[in-house]
Amino acid sequence: MTYAKTVLKSGEINLDQLMDEREAASILCYSVRALQNWRHRGGGPKYVKVSARSVRYRRRDLLEWVESRIVANSSQTDNQ
């Protein structure tokens, strides 16, 4: 996905734009395989199942998943 596709005419980022798992993995700095494992085992970001063999991610869901994992220090409990 190019930057131009993500930015709306108003200059705002389109948080509901769908992206494939390669693009989502790039944003999260993880591998596509990690996303596949999380979908299978649970614990990863929300995704949209557009067909039996095709999934997409919304930028909004990726950012929310990252925000839910922020901790201040290592003594915080792991609630994820």
User: 52-70 pLDDT, tens per residue?
Assistant: 999 999 999 999 999 999 9
Q: Which pLDDT tens digit goes with each residue over 7-53?
A: 566 778 889 999 999 999 999 999 999 999 999 999 999 999 999 99
Check residue 5 and give its pLDDT: 55
Check residue 79 and give its pLDDT: 59
Check residue 61 and give its pLDDT: 97
> Which sequence spans correspond to the domains of the chain?
3-68
Topology given in CATH for the domain delimited by 3-68 = Arc Repressor Mutant, subunit A (1.10.10)
Alpha helices in the chain (DSSP H): 3-6, 21-28, 32-41, 59-68
Give the integer Cα–Cα distance in Å for 15 and 41: 26
Give the integer Cα–Cα distance in Å for 46 and 57: 7
Please state the pTM of the whole predicted model: 0.78
Check residue 2 and give its pLDDT: 44
